[in-house]
Amino acid sequence: MKKLLSIILSIIICAVSVQGVFAESSDVDINTERNVYDDCADFSKVVAYSEGLSLDVVTDENKYAFSGDDTHIIRVTSDAEWLEYAVEPNGYFVFNTAFSPNEELSHFTFESSADGENWTSFNPIITVDDTEPSKWITVHYSLKKLPAEAKFIKIIFGNIGGTPWSPCIESIELKEHNTDEVGFADCVSTKYYNSTAKLKNLGLINGYSNSEFKPSGDITRAEFSAMMAKLLDLNSVYNPASLKQVFNDVTADYWGAGSIYALYSLGIVNGDENGNFNPELNISLQEAVKIMVSSLGYTAVANQNGGYPSGYMREASRLKLLKEIEDLKNEDSLSRGDAAILMDNALDVELIYQTSFGDGQNRYEYDGSTILNRYHGIYERRGEITDVGYASVFAEGAAKDGRFELNNQSYKTGDYDMLQYLGIMVTAYVKYDKDENDYTALYVEQDKNTKITEIDYNSYDRLDDGYLCYNGDDGREKRIAVGTNTKVIYNYKYQTRVGLIDNIDIKCGYLKVISNNVGSSYADYIMVYDYDTYIASDSSKLGGVLTDKYKGAVNFNLDEADTVILKYDNEKVLYTPEYKINKNEVVCIAKSEDGKIADIRISVDTDTGTVTNINSSEQEYTIGDKTYKLSNYFLDTNRTIDISSDTVTVYLDINGNIVDCRGAVSGERYGYLKSVSELNDVFGNTATLQIITESGKAEEIKATSKSSLNGSVSSVKSFFNLSPQLVKFSLKGDGTIAVLDTAVDLFGEVNTELFTRNYVSDSAKFYDTLNIFASKYQLSSETQVFVVPNDKSEIAKYEVSDLSRLLSDTAYNVQLFDLNDEYKVGAAVITLGTDDADIYNYSPVGVIINSGTYVNDEGDKCLSLKMFSGGEEKELLFDNDGATDRTNGWIDGYVNRDTKNGVNPFSTGEVLQYSERDGKCAAFRILLTKEQIYNNDYYEKNLADYGALSEELFYSELYTSLGIVDKKFSDKILLMGNTIQGYLRTIPLNGSVYVYDRRTKVLIKGDNSDIEQGGSVFVQMRYGIANTVLVIRN
């Protein structure tokens, strides 16, 4: 009966215990969604920091105000305090910070250094979270675009001279770069990459993270034992507590005891002459080799050839276990990378079995099994990958979703990216699932005899008499032999053979030429990845309709695709139909002919500078010291670069070619578009725009067929779809429109490259202490304020001013544009009230005594209300057109009321806010209805300017409630308006009191003595003042 010398399976099976777990102590998988690098609970991760910094823990009563962590780094001064961090090689930092809502956003600044002494500033990527008004504003600073040479970064506080504790740093995350690497990032370009990548994907080793292995780090005897136990699949075999202690220095509770004793029980490891295993000593090459040779079953052979260490080293050399580590000496300490190479080399070695014993007749046999297939159910399959899903090198492919074909055998792709190996000779490692009787790919290695040459669009030249010709990096022509039967695979699908075509058509993208045998006379395949190019004129969703600047609306029909590959700025990202494309982003898409495969690359590369040279014959432009070709997209849309501009910005495709160019012709400026006139010639080539400019005057400016609207040059007729609004425009040298953009709605976002409308309100208060709207949007002396009438035709009522035009503590119908990263406003539009009057939060409040009608001077019947307002009687008159009902959603289920021609919808005891114009009611908001009074419909409502209603928050510029007096004191009451939640509100007794009797339907003035505990009252409160209290009696 066959018996594996070094792994006695019968012993293992008999010794099975349920809970043995063997893992390297240093191999911790930290691939979590949110990897907190520094929780800001101490300064342990900081390289250096200034003296004016301290640590803070948020108290329980203040936790509601913060969205992030409770431990913060704060200042104790108002100076530019700072911290330094060492750059982590396997990711990038994201600083999570918080700013007080009562101060402007004075952002942090960042510097980088290669030596820790010389510093250069750089710009982070800033995102600001949407935050409730009562909470601190959360701002994230991503350092993804950190300069490549940076070894240290410094974060510097802003808000110099302001509140010391704002802003604060809440935490720092370390995020991994999203790359296509299947191995560890810190092993790239080292001899360890292939081995560590294979072992990682086969599930045989872990790293410190998904991208970090630390190949040059030491490995101890215990750690190597743990790796070997995992390699031999002993993970569920031994419970160390059940084993007798053999080594003095390895107790049952030692982290590696299970691995060490499992290997010892099988005769693979032993200790020294003192009975110690020395688990914490670094393992030497000869010690590791002894363990590996014994694990493979070659113990007897090694002992016959000289024993330890020479016999084991000779056997390891014969078995080719020392490939790539031959330069190590026997006594040298093994690194983690060296250990991985040793393990990788062992995967291909046949296990040896002893079949007879004694009398010098020991015999050994092989059955072809290896560590991979015997202990892990993993098998090697070598061949050419001909089909991956709907991609195929054949005219009629396998077209099986989630599978690939290798040597006419079908396998599951699993989570592995197999498309990149289409047409390539490989060794695929596939795992067998006996329940499904199927194999799934875990890892793929390109065959060593396969040669792949990638040639981008700019370098490809032609097919010429059996050769594919292209320009090398040195500018010289290079050639690859191709035959008449060399297949051409176009966007992942077979298209033709070289012998049937004269040339390869490609607009943008690259070629991949595959020769699966370097000794072959010609290439096997030419993979063509041909991309169509678009540039977005505004933001859109990738799964919807994209508006191209020069081609109009485009639908990629991605719902028909089985596979969508998406890369943003060369990093692979997950595709969803909701994925957002931003204005001026270049979208390159290669689709298979049947639409089943879509490969999308988004380029955000740009360059700005002066055109210094033009090579017309090569269609090249030099900007500064860099030369760019014009893309086919640029040429197809019949455009030229305006070299008269002092500065141009070019947008580049994935080949680095120019897709679009914008010149800073006259400098962009704001204007309010009042109207667009008729075409002024029979050919329809021009239109006249009336724009209120910064001078406050209406200027007539012409748009022509070469004028750009929202990044797209099309018919002049497109300008006639514009309604009155704020625009941003620039002029050509002849005074006509060069570029005109309308605002994109990006509410709350800051510091974008777009012209954006960031905030809209029909009733936002302005405060001149900080010159802010809505607690955080700040106007500066540079902000242009456009004051426009509601009737846009009244040209005399337009104004252009600055923030001095605005009155403090006054509500405005306002739109705010172009917020920068300090939340400062580029431009504001204030719409003046007209016939459509409005109600403001501070508008007066009245309680109706009675109502009637009167006849105006024109003989029209009109409504009249008699009421108490501010403690005094008042008559509120309506004209025959009535007033605008602005109640909206203040009262649930409310239906707007008609007050035209004397119609009377009001009842005694009802409460309303009102505004007047020319002595007549212009608008009203109902705060308490007759139905609420008689049905005891208790409620409460506020504006949420200090936070939405909750147990803690109700304070507001306008708060109303119909509730029950829970308790009454001399100067206040506790009111329960929300009877479901049972919240109690403190209402000061400092306003006008009225009494309504539901039985007699009479309203009279009262005082605080009329308020009774347990009774019903209505209150209207503005911040700390209860302006109106209505006592309701039966």
Average pLDDT across the chain, whole number: 87
**What's the average model confidence in pLDDT over 509-520?**
91
- Residue 255 lies inside a defined structural domain of this protein: no
Q: How many domains does the chain have?
A: 10
- Residue 16 lies inside a defined structural domain of this protein: no
Q: What percent of the chain has pLDDT over 90?
A: 57
Residues 915, 964 share a domain: no
Report the pLDDT value the prediction gives residue 781, as an integer from 0 to 100.
83
Report the pLDDT value the prediction gives residue 312, as an integer from 0 to 100.
97
635: which DSSP letter? H
> Rounded to whole angstroms, how far apart are CA atoms 900 and 787?
31
- Residue 27 lies inside a defined structural domain of this protein: no
- Residue 329 lies inside a defined structural domain of this protein: yes
**What's the average model confidence in pLDDT over 302-307?**
93
Report the pLDDT value the prediction gives residue 894, as an integer from 0 to 100.
93
Which of 427, 446, 465 terminates a domain? The answer is 446
Residues 1013, 872 share a domain: no
Query: Could you tell me whether strands 626-629 and 698-704 are parallel, antiparallel, or unpaired per DSSP bridges?
Result: unpaired
**What's the average model confidence in pLDDT over 707-729?**
85
> Do you find a cis peptide bond into 905, omega within 30 degrees of 0?
no
Residues 565, 422 share a domain: no
Residues 509, 569 share a domain: no
Per residue in 837-878, pLDDT tens? 567 777 899 999 999 999 998 899 999 999 999 999 999 999
281: which DSSP letter? S
* DSSP secondary structure of 105-130: ----EEEEESSSSS-EEEPPEEEE--
Query: Could you tell me whether strands 756-767 and 744-745 are parallel, antiparallel, or unpaired per DSSP bridges?
Result: parallel
* DSSP secondary structure of 335-353: BHHHHHHHHHHHTTSPPEE
Report the pLDDT value the prediction gives residue 833, as an integer from 0 to 100.
66
Does pLDDT of 672 surpass 50? yes
Does pLDDT of 7 surpass 70? no
| Whether the Cβ atoms of residue 403 and residue 410 lie closer than 8 Å to each other | yes
- The domain that holds 64 is classified in CATH as 2.60.120.260
Report the pLDDT value the prediction gives residue 630, as an integer from 0 to 100.
94
- Residue 14 lies inside a defined structural domain of this protein: no
Which tokens hold the place of 272?
A: 């020294």
Which tokens hold the place of 609?
A: 């500078």
Residues 243, 367 share a domain: yes
**Burial of 892 (C-beta count, 10 Å sphere; 0-12/13-18/19+):** exposed
Report the pLDDT value the prediction gives residue 572, as an integer from 0 to 100.
84
3-class DSSP state for residue 494? Answer: strand
User: Mean pLDDT lowest for which of 138-142, 405-409, 705-709, 864-868?
Assistant: 705-709
**What's the average model confidence in pLDDT over 726-734?**
82
Does pLDDT of 716 surpass 60? yes
User: Mean pLDDT lowest for which of 140-144, 248-252, 525-529?
Assistant: 140-144
| CA 279 centroid distance within chain | 44
Per residue in 532-545, pLDDT tens? 999 998 778 899 99
Per residue in 418-449, pLDDT tens? 999 999 999 999 999 999 999 999 999 999 99
> Rounded to whole angstroms, how far apart are CA atoms 887 and 941?
12
- Residue 9 lies inside a defined structural domain of this protein: no
Residues 1021, 958 share a domain: yes
Residues listed for the chain: 1034
Supply the Cα-derived Rg of the chain in whole angstroms.
39
pTM of the complete model beyond 0.75: no
- Residue 571 lies inside a defined structural domain of this protein: yes
| Whether the Cβ atoms of residue 439 and residue 411 lie closer than 8 Å to each other | yes
Per residue in 106-135, pLDDT tens? 789 999 999 999 999 887 877 677 677 678
Q: Which residues of 666-682 are buried (b: 16+ CB within 10 A; e: fewer)?
A: eebebbbbbbbeebeee
Residues 206, 139 share a domain: no
Report the pLDDT value the prediction gives residue 28, as an integer from 0 to 100.
31
Residues 393, 357 share a domain: no
Nearest to 814 by CA among 777, 844, 781: 777
Q: How far is CA 691 from CA 128, 675, 710, in A?
A: 33, 7, 16
Residues 822, 866 share a domain: no
Residues 435, 493 share a domain: no
Per residue in 78-105, pLDDT tens? 899 999 999 998 788 999 999 988 777 7
Structural domain range at position 425: 377-446
Per residue in 988-1023, pLDDT tens? 998 899 999 999 999 999 999 999 999 999 999 987
Residues 331, 188 share a domain: yes
- Residue 963 lies inside a defined structural domain of this protein: yes
User: Cα torsion for 280, 286, 289, 294, to the nearest 10°?
Assistant: -90
Which of 530, 546, 578 terminates a domain? The answer is 530
> Rounded to whole angstroms, how far apart are CA atoms 39 and 172?
7
Residue 835: pLDDT band (50, 70, 90) is: very low
Considering only residues 857 and 898, tell me which one the structure prediction assigns the higher pLDDT. Answer: 898
**What's the average model confidence in pLDDT over 40-45?**
95
Which of 932, 956, 987 terminates a domain? The answer is 932
Residues 403, 330 share a domain: no
- The domain that holds 713 is classified in CATH as 2.40.50
> Rounded to whole angstroms, how far apart are CA atoms 112 and 122?
7
Query: Could you tell me whether strands 737-742 and 744-745 are parallel, antiparallel, or unpaired per DSSP bridges?
Result: unpaired
